[in-house]
Structure 1
Amino acid sequence: MNSAAAREADPAPPPPGGVLWGLSGDVRALLMLPAALTLQVAHPAVGAGVDEHSVFRTDPWGRGERSLSSLQLWVYGGEQAAEEGRRLRRLHRTIQGTDTRGRRYHALSPANYAWVHATGFPVYRHAARYLIRPLTPAQERALYREWLQVGRVLGIQDRDMPQTIEEFWPYYRKMLAEEIEKTVVVGELVDADAVVPPPDRGPLPLRLLLRALWPVLLPPLGRLRTFLTVGLMPPDAREAIGLPWTAGQERRLRRFCALLRMVVPALPERMRYLPRARRARAAHRAAGRSGPGISG
């Protein structure tokens, strides 16, 4: 197949103006990502792959920036979305080894690759209730359809992912019951005292300031990261991994998120949405289109 034919056969990203468009580009979605990542690496094979092959310990800011850029391309990248999916598959071709249960794994084996993608749906669905607003049943179904479409962009075959919400939940519960555990990487991601280097991105004066203040900033930021990672994870996933969560923490999370629900919608759009999402939304509006997105 020549390159032009390949482009014609590429799966399209989720529809402009859809639920995912409003959700994944919102700055509050940044707070959802650690919970999704932690649920991903709670799978023994995925955790082992990240433990042995990822640079998240040595280059956490670079790794985070690349992951966020990739996610934004899946949703807002247009023709670039499918190429990003191919790039990710090429990147994962050599990632293999033995997991904590002594089983051989490969990052691109259908079960492992599908789980990494599947975790986004329950985390988005749960965290949106706190940070933005609860999804209606119609929005939930739209979100799941759009998340399946992102999976196709990433090269996940339909036969490897539940194709309806009704099929998803038994699959998800089975994974929680039979596969999920508190892996080494999970332990590191929820460790409030983990050593993280100061940010190495952004303007030089800001980097220098953060480097000077980092010994003071890191402890409270570490506690906040752990609090949000555990709190924004769906309760059944939290329980399956064995992450403690108290009623007092739940009350604090609800107060914190209520504040964000008041403050963020009052901000100008350039501060409410990530750059790629903001540009895509502006182009979509200029074309005079609308959709069933979530906002607020």
Structure 2
Amino acid sequence: MEVTIVIELRERVGESLFKRVAGPEGTATRARIHETPGPRWYDTDRPIRVVHGDASMFIGGISALLLQSLHPLAMAAVAAHSGFRGDPWGRLQRTSTFLAVTTYGTADDAQEAVDHVRGIHERIRGRTAEGLAYHAADPHLLGWVHAAETDSFLRAHQRFGARPLDDAGYDAYVADTARVAEALGVSDPPRDRGGLTQCLSTYRPELRATPEARAAARFLLLRPPIPVVARPFYAGLAANGVAVLPAWAREVLGLPRLPFIENLAVRPAGRALTGAIRWAMVKPAPSP
């Protein structure tokens, strides 16, 4: 009886999380991605499949949004065109579906997803409050978004991944992500961790916390569109999203660094939460 209750609880929590991340069509989309026959961009043993399939992505995703917001042109484009405030769950679902399709889907579906995103990027143009022009299809701007995302997912997986990779594995992860980046229009994306570090360094002079970036941070960290009952759990994920940011990025955003509290409470909470997410979202083996 107790085992049945635990299994039912696991299934309910897992289904709720999956619907939040994947959307109402998530089950059909997952079946299409994983069950459609055909060649893939990545073999089953590639590091990108390990990283993108891990619960650490919940933390890496928050960290990536905070880091990406530091480029004024990228943040202006997001604030004006992404609808992340009015439809944050829809944006999350679209992003997670894109990652899933390009990582696990057939080569044809991956290319179709990339072409769709490129079409959207091509139409997104505007100016910042200071009058600076931006274009979402700009290879330089795309390069920043890609580097910030890759670094964030990598850092989160290093700290909270169920199966952390070795140095060669993380270099290979960066190389794997370069394929999607090039398909999206990034010129010469980094292909190992050294190149990724250097890439981020070259963008540093362009980065700052604009009012839009600070507003986005407040939205993500203090006013998320989360039911009250789930806010303590989200707060733990968000705190760890901040904790895995590069030190210089936290300083630019004005986010405090409290090593004692982070080591004593924040990091253990991150391990517990990612473990709970894995428990909930991994289907139990069928009974013999």
Task: Report the alpha carbon displacement of residue 131 of structure 1 after superposing the two structures with TM.
Answer: 0.9
Task: Report the alpha carbon displacement of residue 267 of structure 1 after superposing the two structures with TM.
Answer: 6.6
Letter in 1 for 2:208: E
CA–CA separation in structure 2 for the residues paired with 1:195 and 1:138: 36
Q: Secondary structure at the match of 2:119?
A: helix
Match of 1:42 among 51, 70, 84: 70
Q: 2:245 matched to 1:233? A: yes
Q: Which has the higher contact order (CA 8 A, sep 6+)?
A: 1
Query: CA-atom RMSD, angstroms?
Result: 2.8
Task: Report the alpha carbon displacement of residue 88 of structure 1 after superposing the two structures with TM.
Answer: 0.2
CA–CA separation in structure 1 for the residues paired with 2:53 and 2:88: 21
Task: Report the alpha carbon displacement of residue 245 of structure 1 after superposing the two structures with TM.
Answer: 2.1
CA–CA separation in structure 2 for the residues paired with 1:26 and 1:125: 11
Structure 1 residue runs of 5 or longer lacking an equivalent are 1-10, 199-213, 272-296
Cross-structure match for 1:140: 170
Letter in 2 for 1:244: P
CA–CA separation in structure 2 for the residues paired with 1:222 and 1:27: 13
Q: 2:95 matched to 1:82? A: no
CA–CA separation in structure 2 for the residues paired with 1:268 and 1:171: 34
Cross-structure match for 1:6: none
Q: 2:152 matched to 1:123? A: yes
CA–CA separation in structure 1 for the residues paired with 2:72 and 2:82: 15
Aligned length: 242
CA–CA separation in structure 2 for the residues paired with 1:195 and 1:125: 24
Structure 2 residue runs of 5 or longer lacking an equivalent are 1-38
Q: 2:165 matched to 1:153? A: no
Letter in 2 for 1:239: E
CA–CA separation in structure 2 for the residues paired with 1:81 and 1:23: 18
Overall identity of the aligned pairs, in %: 27
Task: Report the alpha carbon displacement of residue 126 of structure 1 after superposing the two structures with TM.
Answer: 1.3
Structure 1 residues 86 and 229: CA distance shift in structure 2, 3 A = same
Superposed, 1:5-154 pairs within 5 Å as: 13-79=41-107, 80-99=109-128, 101-132=130-161, 134-154=164-184
Structure 1 residues 267 and 47: CA distance shift in structure 2, 3 A = closer
CA–CA separation in structure 1 for the residues paired with 2:120 and 2:92: 16
TM-score w.r.t. the length of structure 1 is: 0.72
> How big is each residue's C-alpha offset from its partner over 1:237-276, in whole Å with a ceiling of 9 and x where there is no partner?
32343322212342222211333576566678437xxxxx
Residues 86, 155 of structure 1: 8 Å contact kept:
no
CA–CA separation in structure 1 for the residues paired with 2:273 and 2:182: 33
Task: Report the alpha carbon displacement of residue 49 of structure 1 after superposing the two structures with TM.
Answer: 0.3
Residues 42, 182 of structure 1: 8 Å contact kept:
yes
Residues 50, 185 of structure 1: 8 Å contact kept:
no
Letter in 2 for 1:72: A
Structure 1 residues 75 and 185: CA distance shift in structure 2, 3 A = farther
CA–CA separation in structure 2 for the residues paired with 1:120 and 1:54: 17
Structure 1 residues 138 and 219: CA distance shift in structure 2, 3 A = closer
Letter in 2 for 1:259: A
Letter in 2 for 1:117: H
TM-score w.r.t. the length of structure 2 is: 0.73
My pick for the range that moved more, 178-187 or 43-52, is 178-187
Q: 2:272 matched to 1:245? A: no
Q: Secondary structure at the match of 1:105?
A: strand
Task: Report the alpha carbon displacement of residue 111 of structure 1 after superposing the two structures with TM.
Answer: 0.5
Structure 1 residues 110 and 151: CA distance shift in structure 2, 3 A = same
Q: Secondary structure at the match of 2:45?
A: coil
Q: Secondary structure at the match of 2:186?
A: coil
Q: Secondary structure at the match of 1:93?
A: helix
